[in-house]
Amino acid sequence: AAAPVCVLVLGMAGSGKTTFVQRLAAQLQGQRCPPYVINLDPAVRDLPFPANIDIRDTVKYKEVMKQYGLGPNGGIVTSLNLFATRFDQVMKFIEKRQNASKYVIIDTPGQIEVFTWSASGTIITEALASSFPSVVVYVMDTSRSTNPITFMSNMLYACSILYKTKLPFIVVMNKTDIIDHSFAVEWMQDFETFQDALNQETSYVSNLTRSMSLVLDEFYSSLKVVGVSAVLGTGLEDFFVQLSKAVDEYEREYRPEYERLRKTLASISTIEKAQSKQKREQLEHLWKDMGTVCVQSNTLAGPDDASAMGPSDLILTRGTLDEEDEERESDTDDIDHDVTEQSHEEPAFRNFMEETRMKYQRRSNQDE
């Protein structure tokens, strides 16, 4: 069976991610194509859709806060980190359901930075993308983006997520039942129109936004944008069209890269195993060679007899069995011989010095 498509739903708090996931799941259920839904938000109180896997069943958010003395955001991050340590089991569940579910929808925490910039978010995203076709869906609140500065902030965040995840990307402009998203599409397609909207702003941020808008032209050119109303369900047909295009993009551009990385990691693992096996063989040969050196202990041997020692004792004492032999084999033989000769002539030298001292003493007494 074809691998299911993993849809990672991200977005700012209040953008309507959970409502969008609910509408998406209901649409697929109505088409008799039930999705596999995963909830990764441990702080949500009421979930408006049935989840096949719920992080709240595994990690208790409030207990984590009490146990580690954390605040709300720290508790969410820690809960997600704890859940990510067992995400390999989630991957097994997805593999088992790939015959029954064509889509896997993942709802993320409302605090977008918790999933986007945390280690657990990276682990989950890379685990899914390395095994299944994965698409990132960025949900944006259209009604709050009528201000050009707020719109640019959303686009900058979307651009950063695109380059962070390195996956096909779809921007879903939600809440089109309140305001149509055509103005945002026009700002993305026509640079002059966006500049005219910015000219009405006189703050310093508007000047910064004007400079940043030049950078995002290339980002806009390849971006997939869909206007959706999660409440009314409008725009979902266009969303599924863009989703199929994103899956084709994954198969064409992203899967070969992940296959290459997998082969590279497999080759590295093979090399490491071969090196480890070679080291074990060398160590075994070394112990065999050391075993041939070992001589049975002799009760008549003295404490200085090397034949009475085992291999390990021989290595530890090798070169220090006889200090006199070590001195004879020293590289400084000439110096050692000079010292030896001086030690033999030490009494005569002492007498010579004593006589000299007495002569000087008698001469000084005569002078006085």
**3-class SS of residue 305:** coil
Listed by start position, the domains of the chain span 5-260
Residue 227 confidence (pLDDT) above 80? yes
Residue 348 confidence (pLDDT) above 80? no
Residue 315 confidence (pLDDT) above 90? no
Confidence of residue 321 (pLDDT cuts 50, 70, 90): very low
Rounded to 5 degrees, φ, ψ at 138 are -100, 110
pTM here is 0.70
AA identity, residue 231: V
Residue 220 confidence (pLDDT) above 70? yes
AA identity, residue 314: L
What pLDDT does 214 receive? Answer: 78
Nearest Cα neighbor of 57 from 89, 32, 31 is: 89
Per-residue pLDDT tens digits for 39-98: 999 998 889 999 999 999 999 989 999 999 999 889 999 999 999 998 999 999 999 888
DSSP annotation of 229: B
What pLDDT does 285 receive? Answer: 66
Q: CA dist 177 to 107, 181, 185, 235, Å?
A: 22, 10, 16, 10
Dig out the tokens for 195 from the structure: 């500049």
Higher pLDDT, 139 or 254: 139
Distance (Å, whole) CA 245 – CA 262: 24
What pLDDT does 55 receive? Answer: 93
Q: Directed axis angle between helix 182-189 and helix 191-198, to 10°? A: 110
Higher pLDDT, 188 or 330: 188
What pLDDT does 308 receive? Answer: 44
Rounded to 5 degrees, φ, ψ at 174 are -85, 165
Mean pLDDT of 185-202: 85
Distance (Å, whole) CA 226 – CA 170: 8
For 153, residues 6+ apart whose C-beta sits below 8 A from its C-beta are: none
Nearest Cα neighbor of 210 from 198, 223, 228 is: 198
Distance (Å, whole) CA 103 – CA 4: 5
Confidence of residue 316 (pLDDT cuts 50, 70, 90): very low
CB 131 within 8 A of CB 91: yes
Nearest Cα neighbor of 129 from 246, 287, 264 is: 246
Dig out the tokens for 266 from the structure: 């497999």
CB 19 within 8 A of CB 231: yes
Residue 299 confidence (pLDDT) above 70? no
CATH of 5-260, one of 3.40.50.300, 3.60.70.12, 3.40.50.720, 3.60.15.10: 3.40.50.300
108 burial level (CB within 10 Å; 0-12, 13-18, 19+) = buried
